[in-house]
Chains A and B, each alone.
Chain A
């Protein structure tokens, strides 16, 4: 995992939750494009976090090769659906699967920057404690933000948190009752997102209260 800080000509800023598209061109013209959620809050230096996928084509380049001064093309910011301006009276539930935490971090950081009092919970699923990104930052959540981790493959000694994939029971414990009319943002792989969204709908959450963004393992 690596965070790249980008300086982009003509960048107009972004809203929390938006993403950008990266295009790489090799000598000879071969091109590859990927989308990355912007993890930085609006107003902070533009940052994206890339997860290294072993048989990936782009992630090994961005994680292992890229150095200061290297250049590639960007398109963005993109997205008017999966965005949250950090405020509102209704509570907000953020559910992250692995690197899906990136756009939700932007929302969390923005919420803190504006001093929002909106009750917010993050349910963050990772394979192990070593796979948790923004770990230190999440250990000191801002007022009104609660963070719940679940570690699905291995847990450190003494771990008392959740230790399994998200299921109905976990959602019942972490999510607000549907009667509080929470707003939900879920980001991760298609399978993760569908399972979490289905679980909330089974709790009575109106489907339209749940906004989702699916990542592919495109490498």
Chain B
């Protein structure tokens, strides 16, 4: 039994229940979470790739920014229990990227500068559910938040929205990424509260 500390309140607030998944609270901050030092890849060396398809495909920063992109406003939910509503981003839909390559993969692994990885079923990054985002709140994405570009998959816990993403590797089998191999749920749906193994 925990001792309740009189008068202590967390900073978050409850939000509209149809928008805030179970166990979450709403914050107005944008907490920075990181498992390591912030990588700093110069844009003239940055590439984004899709590997594991019929042929590997790669875009330079300029080529990537020339792709059709969209502005998106979404709620995001971190497994550490904060949710942030109406966050606005700009990025390239993963559908646009995957259309360029021939494949029959069922899963992807996002691979990032700094060594972070996260795995997703293909259907969780298809049909308008995922982007590679390069701007947040109308500004270029800050390195602390994953810039130059991060994966954005708002319908899953935000550890799946991998910062500093450099490639998506198409796969036949689902292999756990950095957190999924150490206790976090293989899929991570916040509405089913899939935080940990066995949830």
Identify the A interface with B (CB < 8 A).
23-27, 29-32, 57, 61, 65-66, 70-73
Contacts and interface: CB of A to CB of B under 8 A. Distances in A.
Contact of A31 (B2, B7, B11): B2
A68 to B, nearest CB: 11
A26 B25 CA distance: 13
Given A57-B10, A73-B2, 4 more contacts: A26-B8, A61-B7, A71-B6, A72-B8
14 contacts: A25-B2, A25-B3, A25-B4, A25-B5, A26-B4, A26-B9, A26-B10, A27-B4, A29-B2, A30-B9, A57-B11, A70-B6, A72-B8, A73-B2
Instruction: Tell me the dominant secondary structure on chain B's binding face.
Output: loop
Contacts of B6: 70-71
A129 B6 CA distance: 34
A29 B22 CA distance: 14
Contacts of B11: 57
A61 B10 CA distance: 10
Best-surrounded residue of B5, B6, B10, B12 (most CB of chain A within 10 A): B5
Contacts of B3: 25, 71-73
Interface residues of B, number: 12
Interface of B: 2-12, 25
Contacts, number: 42
A71 B5 contact: yes
A76 to B, nearest CB: 15
Contact of A32 (B4, B10, B25): B10
A32 B7 CA distance: 13
Contacts of A29: 2
A27 B5 CA distance: 8
Contacts of A30: 9-10, 12, 25
A23 B4 contact: no
Contacts of A71: 3, 5-6
A65 B7 CA distance: 7
A70 B6 CA distance: 7
A72 B5 contact: yes
A61 B25 CA distance: 19
Given A26-B10, A32-B10, A57-B10, A70 B5 contact: yes
A23 B25 contact: no
Contacts of A61: 5, 7-9
A180 B153 CA distance: 58
A92 B5 CA distance: 39
Contacts of A24: 5, 8
